[in-house]
Amino acid sequence: MLSSRTLSKNLASVVRQGRSLARRNYGLPASAIGLGTDPRKDKNIQLTPLRGVNIIHDPLLSKGTAFSIAERERLSIRGLVPPRCQEMEKQLLRIKRNLDALETPLAKFVFLSALQDRNETLFYKLLINYLDELAGIIYTPTVGEACLMSHSIYRRSRGMYFSSQDRGAMSAMVHNWPHDEVDVIVVTDGSRVLGLGDLGANGMQIPIGKLSLYVAAGGIRPRSVLPVVLDVGTNNESLLHDPLYLGMGHPRLDGEEYYSFVDEWVTAVHSRWPNALIQFEDFKYPHAYNLLNKYQDKITCFNDDIQSTSAITLAGILASLKARGRSQETLNEERIICVGAGSAGVGVCEGIVDAMVAQGRVNSRDEAYSRIWMLDQHGLLGNPALNTNDPQSIVGGGERMSKLDERQKCYVKADMTDRLSLEEVVEQVKPTVILGLTGVPGVFSEKAIRTMAKYQEKPIVFPLSNPDTRAECTAEEAFKWTDGRAIFASGSPFPDVNLPNGRVGRTNQCNNSYSFPGLGLGITVSRASRVTPNMFLETAKTIADMASPQQLKEGTLFPGVHYLRDVALAVGTRVCEVAFEEGVATAVLKEGEMLSDVVEGSMFVPEYVPLVHAPNAH
């Protein structure tokens, strides 16, 4: 087992490095908005206009059985809750005992959702205390099952839905949201939910889960997050014919009609919350890239599947190089196969290319592209003209090439036959790294991985699709087919594998839950007007440096999930610094303030504070 003390020391070292980098003042105009104070130092009171049952039923204010006698009196809730006042520790004991009695992950998901709907402070305290145990319940892999069953397990609305019938009304609708301050919005159109495909309005569970991690790991305040679904219909026939489905019952909008709809929504939310970070989530290709290209230079936004996934995957590869005893600066010497040419696959590869260029060891982006071989569902993106033995393939390949966009075309190999199978590509390329971003289980065949292992002492095998049922291979398969030599990371968690020689094959979760909370933290604290490419590169480098040499030797690339909050602090500090360095931060440091202290002080801590009724409070 890994030493918690070792991990803590290493993380502390990273945070100290971030602080030493941040011990500077960044001059900005006096008109810029100042950074807020530490919410943990302002524990005196919280004013609220609510009283009586409205307090009990407000999940942001409710304390359940923990209201003091004085609060019960002044808030008019005496007699509306059990008479004995129980502190949070007792509440946690009760909740955890009931949670542990449930047998299935989905049942636990429903239980935790109900807790979140009635007492968010207690929900986040529980989540932070048991992050390694519960992250996989509120997010991947269990959230995938929850999305599939969302219309059946629906209990209470959370977030906002903007549907095709709301066109022309969105600028008014945004004012239905009760909170004036929104820092982070996670939005999906449900078109490509994890590796599960088009789930329409059922995709709402993804923004909810993401934002739960933004709060628990990234320290964003619960009242300042907003999950959103853009319901433009669904092409999922099963949902269209399900009488319980809660979304719009028509095929998806597409083309100009679709982009006009999204544009109306972006305009509406930006008009009410101009400083909010918008995270695009689970949009299908090419909509994901088209929307990112349209808005990334206009508002504060990023695409999680393209950019955040790219950051954590790059972090995993850089850490793997160190695990092999190589320098991270030798990234350009790797031979990388990416199976998956959609938004996630292309996004991950673009991040790798950016890193190679930034390291200065390639002469051009084209040289960096030459180190990556990309496959889609038909096989290698190659040259159809080389299929001389199959004229029909030449015709079909030409049609396929014409449908590729400019990003995908960068990975076409003119000197290799189009549509080669994974096994054929592995034999020819002899890759050092193989990435899976297909959502198709079993794509990494035994033959392909065994061939790879024949040429590589420590093959890097990353089946990254979520949930675990969609992974390109399992951890057990990867270690078996490489004789225990693989450096393994997956999108959803797999247990460590006991090897025949008595060793343990360490598994890693290469999930963007390591990257986006810190990104969001740094962006919101700095009040960045734009999200820049360097923020993702620095996120990757920060995470890649967190494992100690001993952990890397054992095959561990990342800190455990229970350290997500520490990871977010380190990443957030570095991202915040990048925002100041690149001139996109609109916040200012007070004289003598250290950036790292401001970032840490801004992080939400779930604690009960005294409530006082004030009719005019907001």
Residues marked as catalytic: 139, 210
506 HSE (CA, 13 A, CB side): 20
Q: Tokens in use for 228?
A: 């959103």
Q: Is 282 annotated as a binding residue?
A: yes
Q: CA–CA separation, 320 vs 533, rounded Å?
A: 22
List the beta strands (DSSP E) in 389-528: 433-436, 460-463, 487-490, 497-498, 504-505, 507-509
Q: Which of 268, 261, 201, 256 is nearest to 231 (CA)?
A: 201
Which positions ≥6 away from 290 have C-beta within 8 Å?
259
Cβ atoms of 488 and 507 closer than 8 Å: yes
Q: Is 466 annotated as a binding residue?
A: yes
- Coil, helix or strand for 201? helix
- As to burial, measured by CB atoms within 10 angstroms (0-12 exposed, 13-18 middle, 19+ buried), residue 123 is buried
Q: CA–CA separation, 167 vs 149, rounded Å?
A: 28
Which positions ≥6 away from 404 have C-beta within 8 Å?
381, 412
287-299 CB burial, b ≥16 within 10 A, e <16? bbbebbeebbeeb
Task: Tell whether the torsion through CA atoms of 430, 436, 437 and 443 is positive or negative.
Answer: positive
- Coil, helix or strand for 171? helix
Q: Is 485 annotated as a binding residue?
A: no
Which positions ≥6 away from 78 have C-beta within 8 Å?
69, 72
Q: Are strands 372-376 and 379-380 parallel, antiparallel or unpaired?
A: antiparallel
Q: Tokens in use for 70?
A: 């004085």
Q: CA–CA separation, 401 vs 340, rounded Å?
A: 15
Task: Tell whether the torsion through CA atoms of 121, 125, 128 and 133 is positive or negative.
Answer: negative
Q: CA–CA separation, 374 vs 237, rounded Å?
A: 31
Q: Are strands 225-231 and 160-163 parallel, antiparallel or unpaired?
A: parallel
Spatial strand order in the sheet of 225-231: 160-163, 225-231, 184-188, 277-280, 301-303
Q: Is 156 annotated as a binding residue?
A: no
User: How many distinct helices (H) and strands (E) make up the chain?
Assistant: 27, 18
- Coil, helix or strand for 238? helix
Q: In degrees rounded to 5, what are phi and psi of residue 7?
A: -60, -45
Q: Tokens in use for 514?
A: 């390591």
Helix axes 533-544, 343-359, angle to 10 degrees: 80
Residue with tokens 């992950």: 105
Q: Is 496 annotated as a binding residue?
A: no
Task: Tell whether the torsion through CA atoms of 400, 402, 408 and 414 is positive or negative.
Answer: positive
Q: Read off the DSSP letter of residue 307.
A: I
Helix axes 343-359, 309-323, angle to 10 degrees: 50
577 HSE (CA, 13 A, CB side): 22
Residues forming beta bridges with residue 461, ordered by sequence position? 434, 488
Helix axes 4-21, 564-581, angle to 10 degrees: 10
Q: Which residues are annotated as a binding site for a divalent metal cation?
A: 281-282, 305
Q: Which residues are annotated as a binding site?
A: 192, 281-282, 305, 466, 511
Q: Which residues are annotated as a binding site for (S)-malate?
A: 192, 466, 511
